[in-house]
Each structure stands twice: as C-alpha cells, then as structure tokens.
Structure 1
Amino acid sequence: MASVLSAASPVGSEVFAAIALLVLSFVVLLILRYYLPLRATPAYVLVPIFFALWLPAFIVLLVPIDLASSAATDDVAARGIWFPPRLLLVSWRITYWLTFALTWFILPILAEYSDAGYREPRDRVMYSLRQNAQYQAIVLGSGIIGLVYYFITYGFRLVYLKGVVMALAYCWGLFLAIYLMGHGLVTIPRTLFRNASISGRLRRLQSNAPKLYERMEDAIMNLEELEVQVSELSKRKTGTARNFQEWIEELADMCNVPESRPGSSMPRIGAESRILPTVITEKYMADLTRQLDRARHTRSRYVDEWNLLLLDASRTQAILDSAASKKLDFGSATPGSSFLERTTILTPYTRYLYHFHVLPALRVMFAGFLALASACIIWSEMVRTALPSLSVIRLSVVHHWTGEKGQVGFAGQVIAALWILYMCAAALTSMTEVKVWRGRALVRRNTAYESGFWYASYVARLSVPLSYNFMTFLSPTVFTKTRFYDFLGQLIDFTPLGNWFDNLFPIFGPSPRVKRMVGFDMDLVDEEENESGYGTGSWREGRALIERELNGTSLSRREAIIGGSATRSTPILSVPAARREGAPQTPFATSPSSYRDNVAPPSSRAAAQSRSRIANSDGEAEDDNFFTSLGHRVKNTIDTIDTPKWFQEIGDGIKKPKWLGGDEEGTQPGSSSAAGSGSGSNSNNLDVRRWFGGGNDGRIRL
C-alpha cells in the first residue's frame, strides 16, 4: 500500500486541504465576530483564541485524512484525501503540541492577565503568574503518583517522562470529555424534540422567565453596589486615596454613575466608612476593579439572556396565534438583527406554513436522527472491546475490506468527520449548561476576555481526547496503523494502567454518588424538568411578566424611559428596578406612584457582603511590609465594627413569647393587654390548650 501511495501524487489532496483550512479560518473568524468585537478587541486576545478554535477544527479534518492515508483503498476513484507519512507526522506534532501549550500555559496565563484588575502590565503579569503557579502546583501534586509509578516501573528516561505528561493530559481530557459528551448526546435530541411543540416551548419560556429576571435584578443590584463604592471613592481627596487618583478617575468613567440611571434610584448605603476602608491599598483597588469588571459582564450577560427570552417568547406567541388567521408576521426587525433576519423572502401565509407546520416536523425528524446517532455512539463504546465487529461507527466508516484488512475511502472520510463533529458538539453544548464555571458565559458581542480564554482552552482541550476515542471505535487493524496512534496511542497503551483506563472509563464513567462525594457533581439536570415551577416562579407569573415587559408597562421599561436620555456606557435594552425589602416577590407588584418615593436602601445582607468584600480585599499590598499591612488591617477592622444587636436592645425589655400569650405585633412592651383581644385576662394568662392549636372556644386540634 505504501508503494501505491508513493506512486500517486498528493498534490490534489494538499490543495483540497489548503482550501478546507481557508474555509475553516473564515468560519472561526465569524464565530469570533459573533462573540467579540474584532476592532475593539486587543490582538493578545484574538490571536490565541483564534488558534485555540482553529486547531481543533483542523484535528477534525486531520483524523479522516490520517485514516485514509494509512488504510487507502485499492480503487483510485474511491480513494480519499491523503498525505505522505512525513507530512502527517509533522502535522500531528505541530497540532498537538500547540494545543497542549495553549491549554496548559498560554491561555490560562492570558486569562488571569485579563482578569487581574491591576493597571500596570507588569503587575498584571505577576498576578497571573502567581495564580497559575498555584494551579500548576496542584496539577503537579496530583500527577506525582503517576510519575512515581512510571519511574519505578520503567526507570527515569526522557521518553518515559514525555509519555507520562501526554498520558496524564489525555486522561484528564477524556474524563471531562466523556462526562460532558454523555450529557450532550441526550440534550441535543431532546431539546429538538421538545421545541417541536410550539405551546410547550412557550410554556417553558414562561416558566424560566421569573428566575432569569431575578438573576438579572441581582446582577444589576450587585453592580450598583460596586458603583456606589466607586462614587464614594471618587469623593475622597485626602489620605491614601491621593496615590490612586488617576486609577479612581478611570473607574468612575467606567461606571458613569450619574448618567447611567436616575439619581433617585441609586441605593444609599449608610456612611462612607461602611463601604470604604480607611486605608486604600493597591490590592484593594485591583480587587475593586476586578469585581467591577465581572459585575458589568454579568449584568450584560443576564440582560442579553432576558432580551433573547423576550424575543423568543414574542415570536413563539405570534406563531401560536397565527393558527387562526393563517398569516404570520413578526413585525419589523430589531436594530441588532442580522442581514438574514432583516431579509424578507416569505409571504405571511408561507411563513405561517414554514413555522407552524414545516419547522416542527423538521425538528422531530432531526431529533430522531440525532437520537439514533447518539445511541450508535453509546453502543459502539460498549462493544468496541468485547465485540468490535458489531460497532456501528466501524461499519459506517470502513466500507472496503480485503480479508481482515480494512480500507477507508472518501465516503468513509466524510462520515468520520461527521461523527467527530457530532461528538465534539455534544461535549461543547454541555459546557454552556454546566453551573460550576464561576459565572462564565458567552455573550453576543460582549464576552468577557477571561470567559473567552476559558471556553477556548476547553474547546482545544477536549478535541484531542474525543478524536482519539473516536479512532478506537474502529478496527484495531485500521487505527493502529495511523500516525495518530504512533504519536499518541502508543504512549497511552504503554502501561496497563493507561490501557485499562482508556478501555473501561468511557464505558462506565464515574457514578453519580462518586461525583457528589468528590465534589464534581455538575448540575446538568435541565431546569425545564421542574414543570410545577416551585421555587422559581410559575409559568403564569412568567407569562404576566413577559406581557408587561413587551407592552412597556413594567417597572424596567419605565426605568428605561425615565433614564433614556442619559448616556450609557454599555447598550442595555431594559434595566429592571431593584426590588425593595419586604416587597412581594413578583417583579411587578410595586405601584407606579409609590415606586419613586419608596426606594429603600439595600438590605443588611448586601451591606454585609460589601463589608466582607472590603475585609477580604483589603489585605496587605505586595510592596508593604508585615507591620504596615497589619496596622492597615487593624485600623480598617475597627472602623467597620457595628454595634451588636443584643447591646442595642438592652433597654427594650424582655418580650413574652406568643405561645405564652405574649404581646401581639404592634403592641408596646409592658402593656397589659393586646389590641383587639376579648379581655385582658385572656391575653396574659397561660392557656395550655393553645399549645395544641386550640382556640378560645375550648376545642383542641390534633
């Protein structure tokens, strides 16, 4: 076979691969443009993220090429895209080690650099190196066991050390990839099938609306608290604040507090000493900058999700209402709509037919097809060791057999690329639903740099384990001859430990009980399972909330109208008002006339959180010595001490409990009778029947 390939010319395959790489580059740029503004994003952010997305896409293309190159067909017409052995080996080396360097070193350092909060590049670099040194120390400590095992078994050699590093990185990536892919293989078909029902989709949107609205309110309240700190900090012109005057002015410009909302709606947090430390340090300023930047992106994330939910709900309601008139019109496109959304091709009647009849049928069809594909992947994983001849993926990719020798043609290459693409899509889809990623999220045109680095690193980290795991679905006579196996597979199968992990873990994986015990139980259960809406607001509340928001009668819309003339630092379509203490949980329960006059200060919990953040962030600066930092800590602690509640209530007397016939609410301590009671003796005397739920009529409830 090698002589046959050497006689042929790989020029056509190389040209095809070059064109495919250009297309992949264009697709990656479109993805970056969707989540990040290309002109305003620095180069140190765009270039690493581009390669972190481009390299996994190249791996999806390189695996089928490697299969066709090592198991080429005898028929020239059916032969696929192939590379010479040397070119394949160089391609795998460059792709793997670039991906390894990006995921374990470059992207984590740049992520912490962008999230440092310091002004000077040197300080940001030092902060990033310290944070990553701690992480790498934890990883190295967990990998010492593997190192000891290898060195005791095979001795200390450089090739063995490289094998340990590659095998441990593969095991960690496979652990996370299988866990996420298993959830995605179920979620993708189920989501398509459930969205085929128009009324069910609208009901789920309405059920999710109250919880999303509450999260948006909390994010806005958190940002307002931080902006108040910056506002008070900008008023301080004496003391240690003078050393950071330019920094404080930059934060004030970032917040734009007087112009971002009406002044009467700003929360009032006690005195200045309650929200600011007495001694302003560089570490406090960096922590405040970091918290402010995270809060702004969190606010942007939930506002964007809320606006998307409103748009989706309004379109779904319009599709449901079009059943009577047989005509569907979504109205004029929003300013942020794409070119395809602004283009009008269908008539109202054909649009009704497409959205009401054709699209649900297509969703059901694709849901069934992808569910079958998910079942084939799970089945192939289960039988790949015991009964490899029954693997569906093996039969679909390897079409040509000469005795026990399998051959992969162009059709097999296309099918293999589709299998790998679906496996990667299942794993990456689950990443957007996991709730343990420290609030990281992808936001359209406004993704935080740290979130972009983090998601890009895991896209690159999951591609290699999933690609090699796919190759093991095939016959050993096929994948053991590939350059990918020579480069990575031999190191994984080098010891019985790695071989057993690669064969058994994808089949069983960690049980839910083990995941909870080790703290790795990621809440992957879909929130849509809570049909009753208990604890999250019912679908009726969500329906009323969506209708008021769309009709412009909600408090958030009135806030936007009142503050619409102000210049905003970030585009926000709706900014809901802060919920007052003691108010009903529904976000539209406050009357319009009493809202402006009854804006209460934040709750004691929020104030306590602010003081806690100050206490935690006001640590010693790196440049201060121990005694100076200790003095700063003691002074800031004394200035923020509150008078204990028990000390304040010493003169109020001791109140009798209600179950002993004590005073009702609103009665002053020491009064002889409660207002509205039948007689003074009944309110003060002990009645044992009340312990069992009895009343004045003499009856006892059991």
Structure 2
Amino acid sequence: MISVSLPTVSVGSNIFFALALCLISLLVLFLLRRFLTLRATPAYLIFPIFFALALPASVILLVPIDLASSSRDGSGAKAIWLPDRVVLVCWRIAYWLIFVLTWAILPLLGEYVDSGYREPKARIIYSLRSNARYQLTVLGCATVGLVYVVISNGFDFRSIKGVVMAAAYVWGLVLAIYLMGHGLVAIPRNLFRNANVSGRLRRIQAHAPKVHDRLMDAVNELESLNSQVAQLQKRKTGTARDFQEWIEDLSETPGDSDVRAPILESAETSGTVPSVITERYLADMTRRLQRARHMKARFVDEWDRVVQSATDLQSIINSAASKKLDFGAAPRRSSCLPRMKFLTPYMRYHLYSNVIPTLRLAFGAFFAVVSGCIVWSELIKSLAPSVSAITLTVVPHWKDEKPVGFWSQVIASAWLLYMCSAALVGVNDAKVWGNRALVRRNTYGESACWYASLVARLTGFDFIFPIFILIPVCATLFNLYGRIKNVFGFGLSDDEDDVENNPSGFGMGGWREGRDLIEREMNGFGSLAVSSRGARSTWASDRSDDGSNGSSRLRVPAAEGSRSPRPAQSQRPMTAPQVVDNEQEEEENFFQSFAHRMRNTFETANKPQWIENAHLPRWMSGDNNTTEEGGITRLFGGSAVPGRLRLG
C-alpha cells in the first residue's frame, strides 16, 4: 500500500491573516477619522492615503509570517504561515503599490489639491507641471549616478535595475534611520520627563509663547487675505466681472473675517489688488487663502491643547492639599480618563499624582532598555549575530535552523511595532517639514498626501546601512539639535532646552510669559473668570463637530455689563492658580524669606473690628472744613486727599 503525503493546508493561518488585515484596515480608518473629515474629504484622496498607511502597517504582519513560512520543515503547523507563492505575491503587491504611491500618485494628488484652480483640467496641468520640475531635478541627479555606474561596471540591465531600485529607496531609508534614531531616544525620555507634573507644566508654559505668536501671525495673515477678497467683491466692472462667481465662492467658504483680528494688528491688514484680474492670480489667491485657513486651524488646535493641558496639570498640582481632583466640566480634555464617571475625586487624585507618574517611570525604563537593545543589535548584527538581542529573542536556535514558532512571531511583531512607533514619533517631533502639519479633524489635503507618502517611504530594509542609526541616536541623546538650531535656526523642537537655559523664566519667550498668556486665556483675556468659562479656550475651534458649516471665528468674551452680579464675598477677581516658583525661593536667604512671609501675613489678614469702627480726626479724614483755602493743609504743601496726607 502506497502512502501519499498530502500538502499541508494553511486554513487557520489564512483566516488569521485575513482577520489581521481587516483589523489593520479598521485601525487605519480610525486614524484617518482622527485627522480628516471622512464625509467632506473626496474619495480620490481617501483611498490613496488609506493604502499608503495600510500597506506599510501590513509589514508588521508580513515579516513574521515570512520568517515562519521560510523556516517551515513540514512537521506540522507551529506558527502562522502562508504558502511561498502567496507570500511572494503579497510582498510584490506591497512593494510596487508603495513605489507607485510614493513617486507618482500622492505627489500628483498633493499638488492637485493645492493648485487653487477650479477646473479639473487646470488642476491636473498645474500638478503635472509642478511634479515635472521636481522629477527632472531628481532624474538629472540620477543620470549622473547612472553614468558613473555604467563606466565603472559596464552596461548590465540587472545591475542597473538594482541600482535604480536602491536609489529609489535611499531617501526613504535615510529618513527612516534618522527618524527612528530620534524616536528611540525620545520615547523613554518623554516618559521620564512627563512623570514630573510640575516639570511638564513648566515645559508647556515655555512652549506657549511660540504657539501664541504663530497663532497671531496666522490670524492676521488670514485677515489680510480676507480683506483682499472683500476688495475683489466690490469690483463689478472690468476683468473682475468675468470671475465674479469664483470671487463669491472665495468669500462664502468657511473662514470668513475674524471678529477679533482688528484688535491684534489693525494696520496694513489689506494687500494690494491688481487692476487686471487673471485666472492665475485668482488661483494663487485661492491657494494662499486655503493655506492660511488651515494654518490658523492648525495653531488654534495646538493652542487649545496647550491651554487644556496646562489647566489639567495645574489642577493636579493644586489638588495636593485637598487630596481631591476635579477637572471641571470642560467640553474637551487632553485625555479620556477625566471623563470616566466611576472615578471619585479622591481616586482621581491618586491616579494622576501617584499611579500614572509611576507607570511612566516604569515604562520609560523598559523602553530605554528596548531602545538600547535595538541600537546594540544594529551595531553588532554583521559582526556577531549570536549576541544580537533581536536575534536571541526572535530565533534563539538560529544555528540549528529550527522553525520559527508563534511566540517568536509575536516578539518579532513587537520589535517592528516599536521601531515603527519610534519613527512616527520622530515625524511628529521634527519641525523641518515646512508648514505641513496634522490637525485633528482638519488636516489640509496636501499635508495628508505628503505625510502618507512619508510613511510609505519608511518601509525600506537593508542589512548594512542601518548601522548609521548611531548618528541620530547620539545627536538626540547629547542635544546636538539644540546647538544646530541656535546656529542655523532649525532642528527638532525641545522645550526642555528653553527651560534649562532660562530657569528663572524672565524675558520674552520664557515660561513666565507663557504662564501669563495661559492665565489670560483662561480668564477671558482678563475679563472673565475660569469658573464661568468651563475651562475652555477663548479661541473657537475651526472644527465643525456638530456637522455645521464649520466657520472659523473667534469667540469674544461677554461684556462687563452683561454679567450677572456676584455676591460681595466673591468680588475679588479669580485668577488661574500659579506654579510655586521653587527657583526663586531657593535664591532667597532666611531674612528675605521671613520678611516676605510676614508681609503676606499682614496683607492677607482681616482687619479687626475696632480698627474698622475707629474714627479719624478731622484734619486726617479730609473733611471739607479743613480743606478750604488758608486751612491746615497749607502747612503741608497743598490740598488734602481724602484719607491721606500730602507731604510736600
């Protein structure tokens, strides 16, 4: 009897692979929903951006499956595996789709959205022309390199194809190493820093003046462009009549003139409008107007997050005395934990004061060890792979060529997930992308395409080149970016440097100025108390959460006469609580500190009843009989002020 061994069928692995892909797609959709308005974003943008994010994310799944599939010995399923042909097809689909999205589709769509023209044909021509200039520049540089390769190695189609494919991903590989090297240091360092609530608040206050200045600039830039649109609307003759519908569309779109912009900079808010209106001028005006609106939306969102985070941190610091923490009824918080109703104020205090800082320290120490293992593995894998941390955890029996198990796949996915997270942290921290930014529910279409292509570029792999990860790691660890920023004016933002260089916080841009700006914001620019505002920024958000027209306007605090009267005991204006200035207290000696405490004691003490009921003499009380010409006030050099003496 002849026994025939049937090929093993990966039914369970196929089901797991399909479910994992569905889960990745669902997470990508949630990510898109966080930064884009799915209903308002056209489908020709949603689908390419979705694939540009989902395909690189699938690498976290494909690499462990490829390891298990290639090491399978036919003794039975011990891990998630797929047939070799399926794995090859998946890699080819991922590679070529990422290649086309990176170099063709997303750049064209980005310029198409940012063109400013109304007609699709004009948009396509503008996009093709803009990308042609960039591609010709890249092609010229590539031609020089190709000529060098042909002269050195001769003409060989396979070698030329390999060089072209490698050159296409060199930029992405360099970028991935740079960003991941920064993120490997930034993740544990941020966890360690954020464990200290007062230090985190101080860094946010130091960052506040920069955000506020950029917000003011964005508001005034938008107001200037809106004034130009208003001038165009007044023209009813000449060339402006031919584009009247276009001009009306510019004035009707969200982001009309701000009601508080004239308070900021009323001078020179209007620009010059040419006498002859052309299609190119209107396209440029539309493009500038779109960028200005999204720039304002970006800094409105960032300023709201700065104010909200500072308010939450200040509430945590102030709760140390009462052991009870209540964030108030603000409509939007910096995290979802404050909205949990089952937490009592006492439990919430211990959660934010003790539990979360301890967890941050623990995770910071853990991720610091993980980052060190990744750097060590990249440096040593070519010389001694047997002592590589990643090799020992993923394939501990690599010399025996045993198949990769399920838990080895899980560990490999965890390593890849952490490295991708480190690269994405670098993308968020790096401030070298111009005016592009991710804004919650209001990201500009061109910025979304650019960030999606950037994520797609981060999927390059190599064996020797990642050893250069030591350069960005050392640069971040020893703060070389701060020195570069001081010399050239760019680099990675680090508000810790501003706090360390100016611990007292005095001067322009210090943390004291940021604290004052936040207090004014929470107090309604000095006219409205925190309790009556519900701890919300005075800037109205540009997002339309209720599905309305999404108009971006600033909310002006209520007038003084419109407020309800307050009781007599609450006539003192409320101010936001302040951080205790420990540095200033340390600089005082014993006598200065004692004098300050005595002064505060006398200033805050209530007057005794016998002092309030005591009557002053006539010559000290400012009575009319003593202030006449020739009275006793002539002896002191002039007329008396009620209740005071004038010595002269």
Opposite residue 127 of structure 2, the aligned amino acid is: S
**1:409 is matched with which residue?**
405
For 1:102 and 1:574, locate their aligned partners in 2 and report how far apart those are by CA, in whole Å: 41
Where does residue 443 of structure 1 map in the other structure?
439
Are 1:210 and 2:173 an aligned pair? Answer: no
Matched, 1:546 2:518: yes
- The residue aligned with 1:431 is 427
Give CA deviations for 1:510-534 in whole Å, capped at 9, x if unaligned. Answer: 99899989x9996025132111157
Residue type matched to 1:115 in 2? D
Give the deviation of 1:20 after TM superposition: 0.5
State the match for 1:419 in structure 2. Answer: 415
1:234 maps to what in 2? 233
Cα distance in 1 for partners of 2:22, 2:156 equals 41
- Rate the CA distance shift 1:372–1:97 in 2: closer, same or farther, 3 A: same
Paired residues of 1:186 and 1:371 also in contact (CA < 8 A)? yes
Cα drift, residue 409 of structure 1:
1.4
Q: Find the counterpart in structure 2 of residue 396 from structure 1.
A: 393
Shift of 1:94: 0.5
What residue number does 1:700 align with?
none
2: CA distance between counterparts of 1:502 and 1:264? Answer: 54
Distance 2:507 2:40 in 1: 41
Q: Which position in structure 2 is the counterpart of 1:454?
A: 450
Rounded to whole Å, the distance in 1 between the matches of 2:169 and 2:134 is 18
TM-score, normalised by the number of residues in structure 1: 0.70
* 1:300 and 1:572 in contact (8 A); partners too: no
1:261 is aligned to 259
Cα shift readout 1:639-698 (whole Å, capped 9, x = no counterpart)? xxxxxxxxxxxxxxxxxxxxxxxxxxxxxxxxxxxxxxxxxxxxxxxxxxxxxxxxxxxx
Q: Is 1:530 matched up with 2:498? A: yes
Query: CA 1:340/1:326 → structure 2, altered by over 3 Å: closer, same or farther?
Result: closer
Asked if 2 retains the 8 angstrom alpha-carbon contact of 1:73 and 1:400, the reply is no
Q: Which amino acid aligns with 2:551?
A: T
Describe the superposition over 1:6-47 as per-residue Cα deviations: whole angstroms up to 9, x where unpaired.
842211111100000111111011001111111111101111
CA contact (8 A) 2:378 2:467 kept: no
> What is the CA–CA distance in structure 1 between the aligned matches of 2:122 and 2:266, rounded to whole Å?
34
**Structure 1 residue 347: deviation in Å?**
1.3
Taking the TM superposition and a 5 Å limit, the aligned residue runs for 1:116-265 are 116-254=115-253, 257=256, 260-261=258-259, 265=263
Map 1:652-663 onto structure 2 (within 5 A).
Answer: none
Q: Give yes or no for contact 1:230–1:248 (8 Å, CA) kept in 2.
A: yes
Amino acid at match of 1:323: A
Give the secondary structure class of the aligned counterpart of 1:325.
Answer: coil
- Letter paired with 1:230: V
Cα pair 2:56 2:456 within 8 Å, conserved? yes
Letter in 2 for 1:101: V
User: Structure 1 residue 345: deviation in Å?
Assistant: 2.2
> After superposition, what is the alpha-carbon deviation per residue over 1:301-329, rounded to whole angstroms, capped at 9, x for unaligned?
00100101111111111111111111111
Cα distance between partner residues in 1 of 2:95 and 2:192: 37
Say if 1:289 and 1:373 are closer, same or farther in 2 by CA, change over 3 A.
Answer: same
Residue from 378, 382, 385 that aligns with 1:385: 382
Give the gaps of 5 or more residues in structure 2: 542-547, 558-648
> Aligned partners of 2:514, 2:489: CA distance in 1, in Å?
29
SS of alignment partner, residue 458 of structure 2: helix
- The alignment partner of 2:189 has SS state of helix
Rounded Cα–Cα distance in structure 2 between residues aligned with 1:550 and 1:49:
38
**Is 2:26 the counterpart of 1:30?**
no
State the partner residue of 2:371.
374
- Give yes or no for contact 2:182–2:473 (8 Å, CA) kept in 1: no
Please show how residues 20-99 of structure 1 align to structure 2 within 5 Å: 20-72=20-72, 76=76, 79-99=78-98
TM-aligned CA distance change 1:256 to 1:455, over 3 Å: closer
**1:438/1:165 Cα in 2 relative to 1: closer, same or farther (>3 Å)?**
same
1:353-364 matches, cutoff 5 A: 353-364=350-361
Shift of 1:509: 7.4
**Partners of 2:498 and 2:264 in 1: how far apart?**
35
1:323 counterpart = 2:320: yes
User: Equivalents in 2 of 1:139, 1:330: separation in Å?
Assistant: 53
Return the alpha-carbon distance in structure 2 between the equivalents of residues 143 and 84 of structure 1.
Answer: 37
| Cα distance change of structure 1 residues 556 and 538 upon mapping to structure 2, 3 Å threshold | farther
Residue identity over aligned pairs, in percent, reads: 52
Q: String of CA shifts for 1:566-598, please: whole Å, max 9, x gaps.
A: x9853456689xxxxxxxxxxxxxxxxxxxxxx
Write the distance in 2 (CA, Å) between the matches of 1:98 and 1:561.
45
- Counterparts of 2:492 and 2:334, CA distance in 1: 31
| CA distance in structure 2 between the partners assigned to 1:181 and 1:563 by the alignment | 36
1:570 equivalent in alignment to 2:551: yes
Task: Give the distance between the partners of 2:8 and 2:488, measured in 1 at CA.
Answer: 52
Residues 110-158 of structure 1: per-residue CA shift (max 9 Å, x gap): 0000000011110010000011111111111221233224434554454
Within 2, Cα distance between the matches of 1:561 and 1:80?
A: 55
Give the aligned partner of residue 104 of structure 2. Answer: 105
- How far is the alpha carbon of 1:209 from its aligned partner? 1.2
Please tell me whether the aligned partners of residues 72 and 409 of structure 1 are also in contact (alpha carbons under 8 angstroms). no
Task: Tell me the amino acid that sits aligned with residue 302 of structure 1.
Answer: F
> Is there any run of 5+ residues in structure 1 with no aligned partner, and where?
473-500, 577-702
> What letter matches 2:430 in structure 1?
V
Look up the equivalent residue of 2:145 and give its one-letter code. Answer: G
With over 3 angstroms needed to count, the CA separation of the structure-2 counterparts of 1:562 and 1:160, relative to structure 1, is closer
Q: Give the letter aligned to residue 462 of structure 1.
A: L
Partner-residue secondary structure (3-state), 2:253: helix
Deviation, 1:174, is 1.2
The structural deviation recorded for 1:240 is: 1.8
- Structure 2 residue 276 is matched with structure 1 residue 279: yes
Counterparts of 2:352 and 2:103 in 1: how far apart (Å)? 45
Query: Secondary structure in 2 aligned to 1:400?
Result: coil
Look up the match of 1:9: 9
Figure out how many residues of one structure are paired with residues of the other and give that number. 533
Distance in structure 2 (CA, Å) of the matches to 1:408 and 1:233: 69
1:53, CA displacement in angstroms?
Answer: 0.7
Q: Deviations over 1:347-379 (max 9, x none)?
A: 111111111100000000111111111111111
Post-superposition Cα deviations, 1:89-123, rounded to whole Å, max 9, x if no partner, equal 11100110000000111000000000000111100
Contact 1:400 1:408 in 2 (8 A): no
- Give the corresponding residue for 2:617: none
Q: Distance in 1 between matches of 2:417 and 2:553?
A: 35
8 Å CA contact 2:325–2:349 kept in 1: the answer is yes
**In 2, Cα distance between equivalents of 1:302 and 1:161:** 47
Change in 2 beyond 3 A, CA 1:100/1:193: same
Q: 1:58 to 1:165 in 2, by over 3 A?
A: same
Match of 1:308 among 300, 305, 310: 305
Aligned-partner Cα distance in 2 for 1:68–1:572: 56
In the alignment, is the contact (CA less than 8 A) between 1:72 and 1:408 conserved in 2?
A: yes
**CA deviation after TM superposition for structure 1 residue 552, in Å:** 1.9
* 1:502 corresponding residue in structure 2: 465
In structure 1, how many angstroms separate the alpha carbons of the residues matched to 2:228 and 2:86? 59
Cα deviation code 1:206-249 (max 9, x no counterpart): 11111211111111111111111111111122222122111111
Residues 126 and 535 (structure 1), Cα distance of their counterparts in 2 relative to 1, 3 Å cut: farther
C-alpha distance in structure 1 between counterparts of 2:57 and 2:466, whole Å: 26
C-alpha change, 1:201 and 1:563, in structure 2 (3 Å) is closer
Q: Per the alignment, in what secondary structure is the counterpart of residue 432 of structure 1?
A: helix
